[in-house]
């Protein structure tokens, strides 16, 4: 569009100017329209300024919002509505901190607050996970008398929940005399363990769950691996004939995929009439979780044949799928096609996928060269992927070098020290291993304990490594002793290389590995579930070699399918084999 070609014969014709503005798609065109509006005096009209800024803020063009800031800064004494407009615009942008800076300027101006100022500020706090700023805004809300305003309180609940302060979120929620659907949705969101209970409480109240409530509850099921409750919500959705919008469709696909049911995820995908890029991406991500690299690439190609252009998140999903299944050449081709064929600049996540892809495949020197040559500064995640690969492939020299780099970059992450100490121990360098653990202790950094969960009859049971707090722990230990004898009869010998501590002998290391959280959870599942049913486990860390080996044998001996979701992917165990093909 050539904006200059728009007829401006009636230079003060507001309708004609707004019409040109709506067709504007480039900053150069926007500048031309702005210049014409300045020349004709239209920018003296507060209504026109509001319309112009609203257009810039709602535009999908990334350079329109900064231009709106320039125009706003040129306004003489902007009113409250304009301040709120700009704060809202930046709260949903890639720079939410600018909303807080604008608010500081607003405080110094003579513009008064109103109830609509705070939801946008709190949205910015949520996007920044900024707890301290949330408490400061909470104080402002109370000081200015908005503590009973439903919009402000709902936003506060959401912001506290997002920043992990669930007690404060609950406290505020409990003070609302008659919570509306937004109140319920705010407190449900991001509180996975309590979300489903709250969703059921919402049903028992006079408030009907809407699409947002259902999406939040399904997201909680996905994070918790609560398949049965997710199925129940899906059934509720169908019975009440709630319209399946794009968001609900994507969340359902994600829920089934993260609960280990890819066939159900595919069925939901097929039933979505208008498949968005988000729906395709959710399905491809699901195939990635489950190690189905070929299927992920197939869907990636199919979506393009259907005229759907992949976005940066789609590329992350398909590259992850390649990494988890060892499709090195395919992954490299897809990565290098991003900028060449799709005009998408790879982000740090995409570079991380390639490092992980090369590292898992044992191409450690190539992975190192890739990091050294990448245009972005490598972060701890990039180096961490290479360090894990060094440990898997026993490259001690390179692992020690990367370990030093990682601890310098990220000195407060326990996993970095653990990997580095284990690299030293692998090379029998006990002094260096002890020194690394000493440094870890001095920094006050703790190792994240292994944790596994299993959902049985609507109740989630949690087990920590070496944990004896479960009320049925004696029964679990007794069952495990029986299982261990059967395992040994079937050729089981413990894999102890993941327990590389020089401070314990082999017997002690064996005792440690037998108390890993996933073994406790699987044992409990065998005790409590019916023969022939699937056992579903969620693990917060990567499954170790011994637990992987044991789970394969258990699936064969007890004739049970076991689905385990660890930190990065799914493992489907059946008849002594795992879907990952021992490549994880």
Most confident of 33-47, 150-164, 253-267, 401-415: 253-267
Whether residue 399 is predicted with pLDDT greater than 90 in this model: the reply is yes
Q: Where are the domains of the chain?
A: 347-447, 451-578
354 against 495, higher pLDDT: 354
Determine whether 148 is exposed, middle or buried from the number of CB atoms within 10 Å of its CB (0-12, 13-18, 19+).
Answer: exposed
So what's the pLDDT on residue 573?
Answer: 96
Whether residue 187 is predicted with pLDDT greater than 60 in this model: the reply is no
Whether residue 173 is predicted with pLDDT greater than 60 in this model: the reply is yes
Whether residue 38 is predicted with pLDDT greater than 60 in this model: the reply is yes
Confidence at 113, pLDDT banded by 50, 70, 90: confident
So what's the pLDDT on residue 112?
Answer: 86
Q: What is the pLDDT of residues 417-456, one digit of tens each?
A: 888 888 888 888 888 888 888 888 777 776 777 889 898 8
Q: Which helix (H) or strand (E) holds 573?
A: strand 570-574
Whether residue 130 is predicted with pLDDT greater than 70 in this model: the reply is yes
- Predicted TM-score (pTM) of the model is 0.66
CA dist 236 and 249 (Å) reads: 14
210 conformational bin, left if phi > 0, alpha if psi -120 to 50, beta if neither? beta
Determine whether 461 is exposed, middle or buried from the number of CB atoms within 10 Å of its CB (0-12, 13-18, 19+).
Answer: middle
Residues 6+ apart with CB under 8 A from 505: none
Averaged pLDDT for residues 455-480: 85
Whether residue 177 is predicted with pLDDT greater than 70 in this model: the reply is no
Q: Which helix (H) or strand (E) holds 350?
A: helix 348-360
3-state secondary structure of 184: helix
> Sign of torsion, CA 354 358 360 365?
negative
Whether residue 9 is predicted with pLDDT greater than 50 in this model: the reply is no
CA dist 415 and 437 (Å) reads: 11
So what's the pLDDT on residue 488?
Answer: 93
Is the distance from CB of 403 to CB of 387 less than 8 angstroms?
yes
So what's the pLDDT on residue 186?
Answer: 59
Least confident window among 209-213, 249-253, 370-374: 209-213
3-class SS string, 217-284: HHHHHHHHCCHHHHHHHHHHHHHCCCCCCHHHHHHHHHHHHHCCCHHHHHHHHHHCCCCCHHHHHHHH
Looking at the DSSP bridge assignments, the partners of residue 456 are: 459
Least confident window among 196-210, 233-247, 372-386, 436-450: 196-210
So what's the pLDDT on residue 60?
Answer: 67
3-state secondary structure of 451: strand
Whether residue 204 is predicted with pLDDT greater than 90 in this model: the reply is no
> Sign of torsion, CA 279 284 290 294?
positive
So what's the pLDDT on residue 503?
Answer: 46
Edge-to-edge strands, sheet with 570-574: 459-464, 451-456, 535-539, 562-565, 570-574, 577-578
Residues 6+ apart with CB under 8 A from 76: none
CA dist 575 and 260 (Å) reads: 17
3-class SS string, 42-91: HHHCHHHHHHHHHHHHHCCCCCHHHHHHHHHHCCCCCCHHHHHHHHHHHH
CA dist 148 and 312 (Å) reads: 41
Confidence at 197, pLDDT banded by 50, 70, 90: low
Confidence at 1, pLDDT banded by 50, 70, 90: very low
Confidence at 134, pLDDT banded by 50, 70, 90: very high
CA dist 88 and 379 (Å) reads: 31
125 C-beta neighbours (distance < 10 Å), count? 30
Instruction: Return the exposure string of 417-447: e unless at least 16 CB atoms fall within 10 Å of the residue's CB, then b.
Output: bbbbbbbbbbbebeebbbebbeebeeeebee
Whether residue 62 is predicted with pLDDT greater than 50 in this model: the reply is yes
Confidence at 498, pLDDT banded by 50, 70, 90: low
Residues 6+ apart with CB under 8 A from 118: 137, 140, 141, 146, 149, 151, 152, 155, 156
16 C-beta neighbours (distance < 10 Å), count? 15
So what's the pLDDT on residue 499?
Answer: 61
Confidence at 250, pLDDT banded by 50, 70, 90: very high
Which tokens in the block code for residue 322?
């390649």
Q: Which residue has the tokens 């290098």?
A: 336
**Across the chain, what does the average pLDDT equal?**
85
CA dist 419 and 541 (Å) reads: 13
Inter-axis angle of helices 277-289 and 293-305, nearest 10: 170
Q: What is the pLDDT of residues 257-267, one digit of tens each?
A: 999 899 999 99
Determine whether 53 is exposed, middle or buried from the number of CB atoms within 10 Å of its CB (0-12, 13-18, 19+).
Answer: buried
Pick the CATH number of 347-447 from 3.30.70.20, 3.40.1350.10, 3.30.413.10, 1.25.40.10: 1.25.40.10
Is the distance from CB of 229 to CB of 210 less than 8 angstroms?
no
So what's the pLDDT on residue 8?
Answer: 43
- What backbone torsions phi and psi does residue 106 show, to the nearest 5 degrees? -60, -40
Averaged pLDDT for residues 195-203: 64
CA dist 374 and 491 (Å) reads: 47
So what's the pLDDT on residue 306?
Answer: 94
Whether residue 480 is predicted with pLDDT greater than 70 in this model: the reply is yes
482 against 218, higher pLDDT: 482
Averaged pLDDT for residues 304-328: 95
Whether residue 221 is predicted with pLDDT greater than 90 in this model: the reply is no
């Amino acid at each position: 569009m050539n904006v200059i070609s728009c007829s401006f014969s009636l230079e003060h014709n507001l309708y004609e100017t707004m019409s040109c503005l709506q067709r504007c798609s480039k900053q150069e065109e926007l500048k031309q329209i702005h210049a014409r509006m300045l020349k004709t005096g239209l920018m003296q009209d507060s209504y026109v300024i509001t319309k112009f800024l609203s257009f810039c803020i709602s535009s999908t063009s990334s350079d329109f919002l900064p231009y709106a800031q320039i125009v706003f800064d040129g306004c003489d004494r902007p009113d409250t509505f304009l301040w709120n407009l700009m704060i809202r615009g930046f709260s949903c942008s890639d720079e939410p901190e600018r909303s807080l800076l604008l608010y500081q300027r607003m405080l110094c101006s003579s513009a008064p607050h109103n109830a609509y100022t705070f939801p946008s500020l709190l949205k910015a706090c949520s996007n920044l996970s900024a707890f301290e700023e949330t408490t400061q805004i909470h104080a402002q809300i109370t000081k200015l008398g908005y503590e009973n305003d439903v919009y402000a309180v709902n936003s506060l609940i959401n912001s506290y929940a997002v920043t992990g302060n669930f007690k404060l979120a609950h406290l505020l929620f409990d003070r609302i005399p008659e919570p509306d659907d937004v109140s319920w949705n705010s407190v449900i969101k991001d509180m996975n363990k309590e979300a489903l209970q709250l969703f059921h409480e919402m049903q028992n109240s006079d408030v009907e769950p809407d699409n947002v409530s259902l999406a939040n509850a399904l997201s909680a099921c996905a994070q918790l691996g609560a398949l049965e409750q997710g199925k129940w919500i899906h059934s509720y959705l169908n019975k009440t004939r709630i319209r399946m919008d794009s968001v609900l469709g994507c969340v359902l696909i994600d829920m089934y995929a993260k609960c280990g049911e890819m066939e159900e995820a595919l069925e939901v995908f097929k039933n979505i009439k208008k498949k968005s890029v988000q729906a395709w991406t959710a399905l491809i991500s699901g195939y990635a979780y489950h190690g189905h690299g070929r299927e992920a690439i197939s869907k990636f190609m199919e979506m393009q044949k259907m005229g759907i252009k992949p976005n940066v998140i789609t590329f992350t999903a398909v590259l992850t799928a390649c990494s988890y299944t060892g499709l090195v050449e395919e992954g490299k081709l897809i990565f290098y096609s991003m900028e060449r064929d799709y005009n998408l600049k790879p982000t740090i996540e995409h570079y991380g996928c390639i490092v992980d892809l090369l590292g898992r495949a044992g191409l450690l020197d190539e992975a190192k060269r890739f990091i050294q040559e990448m245009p972005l500064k490598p972060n701890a995640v990039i180096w961490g992927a290479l360090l894990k690969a060094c440990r898997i492939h026993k490259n001690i020299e390179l692992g020690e070098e990367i370990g030093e780099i990682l601890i310098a970059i990220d000195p407060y992450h326990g996993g970095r020290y653990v990997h580095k100490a284990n690299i030293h121990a692998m090379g029998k360098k006990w002094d260096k291993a002890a020194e690394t653990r000493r440094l870890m202790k001095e920094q006050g950094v703790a190792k994240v304990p292994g944790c596994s969960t299993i959902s049985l009859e609507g109740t989630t049971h949690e087990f920590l490594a070496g944990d004896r707090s479960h009320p049925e722990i004696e029964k679990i230990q007794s069952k495990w002793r029986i299982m261990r004898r059967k395992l040994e009869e079937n050729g089981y010998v413990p894999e102890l290389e993941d327990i590389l501590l020089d401070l314990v002998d082999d017997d002690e290391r064996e005792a440690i590995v037998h108390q890993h959280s996933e073994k406790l959870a699987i044992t409990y599942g065998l005790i409590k579930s019916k023969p022939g049913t699937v056992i579903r486990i969620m693990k917060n860390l990567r499954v170790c070699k011994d637990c992987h080996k044991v789970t394969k044998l258990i699936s064969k001996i007890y004739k049970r399918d076991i689905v385990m979701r660890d930190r990065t992917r799914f493992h489907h165990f059946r008849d002594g084999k795992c879907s990952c093909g021992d490549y994880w």
